[in-house]
Each structure stands twice: as C-alpha cells, then as structure tokens.
Amino acid sequence: MPYDPSVIEPKWQKFWEDHRTFETPRTPGDRPKYYILDMFPYPSGAGLHVGHGEGYTATDILARWKRMCGYAVLHPMGWDAFGLPAERAAVREGIHPAIITKRNTDNFRRQIKRLGFSYDWSREVDTSHADYYRWTQWIFLRLHERGLAYRADVAVNWCPALGTVLANEEVSPEGTYKETGDPVERRLMKQWMLRITSYAERLVEDLELVDWPEPVKKMQREWIGRSEGAHIRFALEKGEGAIEVFTTRPDTLLGVTYCVVAPEHPLLARLTTPAQSASVQRYVEKTQRKSDRDRRADSKEKSGVFTGSSVIHPLTGAKIPVWTADYVIGSYGTGAVMAVPAHDQRDFEFAQAHSLPVVIVVRPEGRELSPPLDRAFEDDGVAVASGAYSGLKSEEFRRRVTADLTAAGRGEKKVSYALRDWLFSRQRYWGEPFPLVIDASGEAIPLPDDALPVELPHLEEFRPTDDGRPPLARATEWLRTEVPKTKAPAERETNTMPQWAGSCWYYLRFLDPKNDRMPFDPAVEKAWMPVDLYVGGVEHAVLHLLYARFWHKVLYDLGIVSTKEPFQRLFNQGMILAPSYQDAQGRYWHESAIETGPDGLRTTDGHLPVKSQVEKMSKSMLNVVSPDDVIAAHGADAMRLYEMFMGPLDATKPWQTSGIEGVYRFLQRGWRLMFTGDDDRLAEEVKDVAPEASARRFLARTVSGVTEDLKHLRFNTAIAKLMELVNELNQAPVRPLSTMRTFVLLVAPFAPHWAEEVWAKLGGKTTLAYEPWPTFDPADLVETEVELPICVNGKVKGRIMVGKTADEAQVVAKALADPNLLRILAGATPKKVIFVPNKMVNIVV
C-alpha cells in the first residue's frame, strides 16, 4: 500500500482514542512535569482556521516530544464558549445560544481531532456548562468577599449596536469596539466593577518573574501605566478646600502659571463664578457631547474656559487662575493638573492659545534658556528662578520639594496608574449569571456557596426588553427570588459576566476538571502549576493575559494556588496571511478563479486583469484556507508539517497552497525509503546492519540538530534537517534498519500518523508515543579534519584541509604553501594574519 493519509490517519486517531494513549495521570508522580497549554478557542460558527492550526500544531509537537523525553505532559483543550456571537446568531436564527454553541464546539472538536493532536480529551472543559461556571461564580464570590467586586455608577463605554457596555480594554483608540468596529459612546450606568487597580503594582512588578516576549510585557506595563510623582494641594482662594493635582514634575512647581480641572471635576461647580457660569456650563455640555474619538481628534487645538476663581500656590502664596479644559482627563490622577507651560508641551500649547504666561524654571545643563520659547523644554535640568531651590538638579529638587510639601501638609509622594478598574458586567444573556440577589433597598447580597450554580434560565428571546433592560429581565420567574437569610423579596442581577471571566481560570480547571467539591484540588494544583508554556496570539497581550494574572493573584492571596504567576513562559505565534485577488472594480476573486495570462494575472472567466496582495484571511476577501480542505487533499500530517515549515513560529507569513506539495512529497519519499510497491515489502536497501561511520555521523548531526531546534521552537529548520536526512538516505545504497527507526522517531512529533504507521510496519508492537527520544554519541559530532577558507584581505581566495587541532603556525604554513595563494600574494609580505581556529584564515597584505 502506498502512503495514503486518508486511511492511516483515521486509523491511528481511533487507536489513540481506544487506547487512551494521551490520558494524563492525576499528578506527574516521580516524572518531571510539563504543562503545555494552548489559548483555548472561542468556537465560532466559521470553524477552525489555519491560524488556530499553527499554534496547536506547535504545542502538539512539543507535547509529543516531551513525552518521548520522559516527561509527564499535561496538554488539554476546551472551549471558551460564552460570548456575544452565539447570542447574535441566536437572535438571527431563532435558535438557542446553547444549541448554537454545542453545534460549534462539536465542529471545532471534530476539526481539531482530525489534525491528530495529542490532547487529553478526558479533561475537556466548556465555560458555558453549569459545572464549570459554578466555579467561576464561586471565584466571583471570593472577589466580592475581599471587596474586589463592587457596583458603581460609572461612565461606561456603551455600544448601541451591541446593546451592551464594554471594558476599556475592548475599545479601540478610535472609540470603536475592537472586534466589530461598531462605535462606542459614553454613558453613566450602575455596573459591576472589579478592583484590578489594587493589584496594579504587583501586576507590573511580577512581570519580572515570567519568561514572556518583551513586547507583550511592554504592552502590559504601558497599559498599567505606572508613574511616580506627587500629589500637591492648591488651597482655594475663597472658601474651604483645595484642588489636588498629580504631577510627575514637582520640580517645576515654581513654573505654575495656572491650574486646570477636567470638565468632570467635582469642584468645578464651586469654582465657577457667576460671571463665568454661562461659558463654563456651555463648555462642559459641549465636552459631554463629544465622543472619546472627537475629543482625541480635537486634541491639537487646546480648548478651555476660565472658571473665574483662583487657588493659592502652596509655596509662594501667589494667586493661580483655575481653568477647565478637556485636555485634562477626569479619570486619571486627580482629574486636575498644575500647568507649567514652559516645561510641558500640552500646557505650552494651551498657554499660547489662551495668552497665559510662560515662566521658565528649568534650564538644560550647561545652557541658558531664554524667552520666548517656541516649545516646552520637557527634559530634566537645573532649576532657575525657584527661590531656595534654584541651582538644584531636577531629581534632587523633586525629592526635596516633595519632602517639604509633605512636612507642610500640602502634598505627598504618590504613584499613579493609568489602569482603571475592570468593568465586569454586560447586558447580555449568554454569560455567567452573577451569584447574588438585589434586595428591595437595592443592596447586592451574595448567595452562599451552596446555592451555586446560579443557572441561566431558559429564554426564547435574547434581545433587551422594551424598556432597555438586559435580556435576563425577561425571565420573570427566575428574576423573583428572596434574600437567603431573611427571606425578604429580592431580584436577581440581570447583567451577566463578560466573556473574559471563564478564561481567567480555565487553566486551573484543566488540572481537576471533574471536581464537584471545589474548583480544583490544591494538591493537584501544586503538582502541575505553573503552565510551563502558553501559546497563543498576541491579540490577547493585554486583555486576557492581564485579567487572568489578576484573578490568579487573588487566588494566590486566598492560598488556593501556589504560584504568583500562572503562565511561566508565553509564546505568540505569528499571523498567517493569504494572497487575495482583486479586479479593477475592487471585487475579490477566489484563487481557483485566477490564472496567469500573457499580461499577468487574470480571471479564468472573462480574463479580467487582477492584482494580488497578501492580506489577513477573511471571508469577504475570499482568501480563507480551511483545514478541512487541506486535510482532504494532503492529509493532516502534511498540513501539520506545512504549518511549521512556512517559517519561524513567531513570524507573520503567507500561506501558499503550492507550498504544501513540498512537505507532502517529503512524507511520500520518506515512506518510499522503506517500502516499495503496493504491498508492505521492505525496500531492498533497508537491511539490519550497523551504519557506516559517515552515515552514523550524519544521523548524529540530524538528531542533535532536530533536538536543538525543538528546544528553541525552530520547527521550520528542524523539518529542513529531516528533509536533508531523507535526501541523504535516498542516495545511500544501504539504509540500516536502526537508522530508519531513528528517523521515524524524529519525524513522530511532527507527522504522528505517518510515523505510527511506519513504526508498526517496521515491527513496532504498539504506539511510539512513549518510545525514548533518539540520542547520539557526541563523539560522532566531532570532525577530525575541517576545510578552512583562506581569505586575502577578507576575500576568500582558496581553501585547505587541516586537522581539527592544528595550531596557527601549522595552518598558516600550509596556507602559504598553497600554490594558488602564492600566486595571488605574488611575493607580498603578509602584514597581519588572522587565525580563527576551525573557522578561517585571513591574510592581510
């Protein structure tokens, strides 16, 4: 039988399933553990795409390799199954989201299984099942007990198109929902919040503990936005109280020429004088109407109005006018700033626009700064015109003035974060219900643990109610309940948790997925955590990874997890793009409708000229590659190999349908190395003999190279080395059986079905999944002789063979004796000779 993936792949998938080949014991026992995790998918209606396949293939290769290296490998898969798309499909199709979700997860499972991944399916979890979200609710109660969950009237990101609010992290800089591009507006609503800000410091600090890509750490640091500075109080000129500002530059305190409060600032009304009342009110209203997007777009012109009031400078006692302007953000710092136009570009622009004075109080070291400035000088330097502080360097100034203000009770050192609390409720049906009730007075009362799960009631209609309440308000029976202790009437919360909730802890549930007494057994947690390698797309750099880290730290504080961080090593696979074809009208054509004409690419039908470009895969661009089609044509093993062979795992790279031919041929050639004809006859060249020295060395190099590449996730070069080995063996008159066995084991993690089948044909009695990974004799890697290039002035002019241990004198003597080199040197005396052992000789004349 020739190599036929459509026969052997289902056969081995069934074998693995029947024999529970990849079920993992409850704890690793005395073997070293390796927890390798994929970011579990949201099972969309579109099915698996090749981008999923890339990450899952990479982790599967590593999982299989680690098993062969003797590790206890935990490699689970599950479904992030709550979410908006299923709910929208439910409205559209009139089918319950649970049914749609089941349909989608069934399809995903089928597609994933068809790729032959070695997941332990007995640990599968689904975040939308009550036996899972029961524990999501349980964790919420722990958050609530610790004061980390609270309800507040907050200005939220309301998305009218979706009919729900969104977290800050879900809104793009343009003021749209990141997923769909629908516009988002500001609205004041009572919402559940999680106090992630109280973990801000640790979320920054503990990034030091993990082995993550630097860009991801950077994005998290920037999102958290830690900055050190001071709070300084400017007393109101009239009446009690003060404006408190946050600044990172207390050393510019003497350069303050005005203060600004945000239009949302609580003191604004008190500050506004009757004479200014009308213009301030007009300004505030104008600002409120502006979306975030407009506010940002208008950022070039610094608008604002004078309040009519002044505050007292905490050091000089001078009167400082107070303005309100929308360039100051109400929700950051204290919502008020001291403006130093000479040393802050934004303040400078505002001062220019409104003819406010500019006072220079810092000059660059070794240089004077003279007015008028054409822009702010924002660097550190030396203080000038700052009374007793004059002459101090900025750093020293900051320390001293902060201490002085503290002593005077007018300020103190302060760290500020850009991170805001996490908006944790959504006006949706298809999410986790909150485990609490709201009594007649409007107070939220948590339910006891034994009341969990609070199950989602069945609904037929998933749109918001006519009076604008969330879909759950339609479940009138479910809604009416009582306070558990007092039996007083109460209502359930009609909001649900956001999609991120379930994915915040799924990696822990995988450890003990069937446990019905607790989320997971702490003993099991200790044995497996942390996740050793977590692979997924970089799009989750801030959202999911920040939220999960936050929950994990809360669980750590509760003493139910043993590690500070959940994911020790993170790897982001690159995006896979695909060529798309567009005619002059901008219409897209599928690759199959394109041919090469005399003047370039054109459509086969009608011969319209088209241009091709490489873009993100998308339905509308007709360039989506489906794993089902690829598998049907070339099999899962070829698909796996090609996904890895395209290029480095972290690179963005284009899918080329023709590229898969190469790896498919590799599998066929590998097969034919061992078997000929239509029966299972061994090829004549395969003999049970010991390999010759040179063949042994080649194999040792391959084993060593592939092993090294696997360590560093360099799958593309590992596969290239296996191809080299096939090319080499193909030429060889004799193919020792032991060499062929080693070859098969090396291929096994990459193309497991192929490898199992060949292994069995070569006499294997059972799966090779736990066969020891091939080793080699290091002596075989040592070359006794090497060919050295001889350079003259850096250019290669010849090459000589020398012994590996030859010293400089020997090598140079041999080089200078080379007739060709003698001719090139033409009697010139070498000025200098550079000798790099085993690398090269460079003669400089």
Partner RNA sequence: GCUCACGUAGCCCAACGGCAGAGGCAGGGCACUUAAAAUGCCUUCAGUGUGGGUUCGAUUCCCACCGUGAGCACCA
Near RNA in 618-637, by CB under 7 A: none
> Could you tell me if 1 and 747 are in contact, meaning their C-beta atoms sit under 8 angstroms apart?
no
Q: Find the shortest distance in angstroms from Cβ 468 to RNA.
A: 29
Strands 735-736 and 686-687: parallel
Near RNA in 260-319, by CB under 7 A: 262, 295-296, 298-299, 302
Near RNA in 176-215, by CB under 7 A: 215
Report d(CA 510, CA 694) in Å as an integer. 48
41-49, 103-111, 320-328, 359-367 -> range binding RNA (CB under 7 A): 320-328
In angstroms and rounded to an integer, the radius of gyration of the C-alpha atoms of the chain is 34
Q: Find the shortest distance in angstroms from Cβ 58 to RNA.
A: 14
Near RNA in 212-231, by CB under 7 A: 215, 219, 222-223, 225, 227, 229
Among 18, 460, 516, 787, binds RNA (CB under 7 A): 787
> Could you tell me if 261 and 276 are in contact, meaning their C-beta atoms sit under 8 angstroms apart?
no
Among 727, 766, 810, 820, binds RNA (CB under 7 A): 727
130-138, 385-393, 716-724, 746-754 -> range binding RNA (CB under 7 A): 716-724
Q: Find the shortest distance in angstroms from Cβ 256 to RNA.
A: 10
Q: Which residue, 110 or 289, has its beta carbon nearer to RNA?
A: 289
Q: Which residue, 468 or 794, has its beta carbon nearer to RNA?
A: 794
Q: Find the shortest distance in angstroms from Cβ 376 to RNA.
A: 11
Q: Which residue, 27 or 656, has its beta carbon nearer to RNA?
A: 656
Q: Find the shortest distance in angstroms from Cβ 335 to RNA.
A: 6
Among 337, 360, 755, 806, binds RNA (CB under 7 A): 337
Among 333, 341, 381, 627, binds RNA (CB under 7 A): 333
150-158, 271-279, 331-339, 355-363 -> range binding RNA (CB under 7 A): 331-339
Q: Find the shortest distance in angstroms from Cβ 19 to RNA.
A: 33
Q: Find the shortest distance in angstroms from Cβ 215 to RNA.
A: 5
Near RNA in 399-438, by CB under 7 A: 416, 418
Long-range contacts of 105-109 (CB under 8 A, 24+ apart): 105/43, 105/79, 105/81, 107/43, 107/47, 107/48, 108/41, 108/43, 108/47, 108/48, 108/79
Single-letter residue type at 804: K
Concatenating the DSSP letter of every residue in 61-75 gives HHHHHHHHTT-EEE-
Q: How many CA atoms lie within 13 A of 327 on its CB side?
A: 23
**3-state secondary structure (DSSP) of residue 722:** helix
Q: Which residue, 378 or 780, has its beta carbon nearer to RNA?
A: 378
Maximum distance among all alpha carbons in the chain? 108
Near RNA in 144-173, by CB under 7 A: 172-173
CA angle at 697 for the pair 694 and 702, rounded to the nearest 5°: 130
Q: Which residues of 418-455 are buried (b: 16+ CB within 10 A; e: fewer)?
A: bbbbbbbbbbbbbbbbbbbbbeeeeebebbeeeebbbe
Report d(CA 60, CA 41) in Å as an integer. 16
30-38, 323-331, 464-472, 632-640 -> range binding RNA (CB under 7 A): 323-331
Q: Find the shortest distance in angstroms from Cβ 327 to RNA.
A: 3
SS (H, E, C) 577-636: EEEEEEECCCCEECHHHEEEECCEEEECCCCCEEEEEEEECCHHHCCCCCHHHHHHHHCH
Q: Find the shortest distance in angstroms from Cβ 333 to RNA.
A: 4
Near RNA in 676-715, by CB under 7 A: 714
Stretch (H or E) spanning 33: strand 33-38
Q: Find the shortest distance in angstroms from Cβ 262 to RNA.
A: 6
Among 13, 101, 247, 495, binds RNA (CB under 7 A): 247
Q: Find the shortest distance in angstroms from Cβ 612 to RNA.
A: 11
Among 361, 504, 791, 811, binds RNA (CB under 7 A): 791
Q: Which residue, 555 or 663, has its beta carbon nearer to RNA?
A: 663
Near RNA in 562-581, by CB under 7 A: none
> Could you tell me if 108 and 117 are in contact, meaning their C-beta atoms sit under 8 angstroms apart?
no
> Could you tell me if 669 and 662 are in contact, meaning their C-beta atoms sit under 8 angstroms apart?
no
Q: Who contacts 711 (Cβ-Cβ below 8 Å, separation ≥6)?
A: none
Near RNA in 464-503, by CB under 7 A: none
Among 458, 487, 619, 832, binds RNA (CB under 7 A): 832
Near RNA in 640-669, by CB under 7 A: 645-648, 651-654, 656, 658-659, 661-663, 665-666, 668-669
Strands 489-492 and 480-482: antiparallel
Near RNA in 795-814, by CB under 7 A: 796, 799
Q: Find the shortest distance in angstroms from Cβ 277 to RNA.
A: 23
| Residue 224 Cα distances to 202, 419, 580, angstroms | 10, 5, 38
Report d(CA 468, CA 463) in Å as an integer. 9
What does DSSP assign to residue 766? Answer: S
Q: Find the shortest distance in angstroms from Cβ 263 to RNA.
A: 11
**3-state secondary structure (DSSP) of residue 445:** strand
Among 27, 44, 198, 248, binds RNA (CB under 7 A): 248
Among 763, 794, 819, 827, binds RNA (CB under 7 A): 794
**3-state secondary structure (DSSP) of residue 15:** helix
What does DSSP assign to residue 675? Answer: B
Report d(CA 813, CA 830) in Å as an integer. 12
Q: Find the shortest distance in angstroms from Cβ 5 to RNA.
A: 14
Q: Which residue, 428 or 721, has its beta carbon nearer to RNA?
A: 721
Q: Find the shortest distance in angstroms from Cβ 822 to RNA.
A: 19
Q: Which residue, 80 or 709, has its beta carbon nearer to RNA?
A: 709
Q: Which residue, 201 or 449, has its beta carbon nearer to RNA?
A: 201
Stretch (H or E) spanning 565: none
CA angle at 558 for the pair 556 and 564, rounded to the nearest 5°: 5
- Across the strands, what pairs with 491? 438, 480
Near RNA in 362-391, by CB under 7 A: none
Q: How many residues bind RNA (CB under 7 A)?
A: 80
322-330, 546-554, 584-592, 752-760 -> range binding RNA (CB under 7 A): 322-330
Near RNA in 501-560, by CB under 7 A: 538-539, 542
Q: Which residue, 245 or 745, has its beta carbon nearer to RNA?
A: 245
Under the criterion CB under 7 A, does residue 789 sit at the interface with RNA? yes
Report d(CA 35, CA 709) in Å as an integer. 20
Q: Find the shortest distance in angstroms from Cβ 325 to RNA.
A: 8
> Could you tell me if 706 and 698 are in contact, meaning their C-beta atoms sit under 8 angstroms apart?
no
55-63, 329-337, 512-520, 807-815 -> range binding RNA (CB under 7 A): 329-337
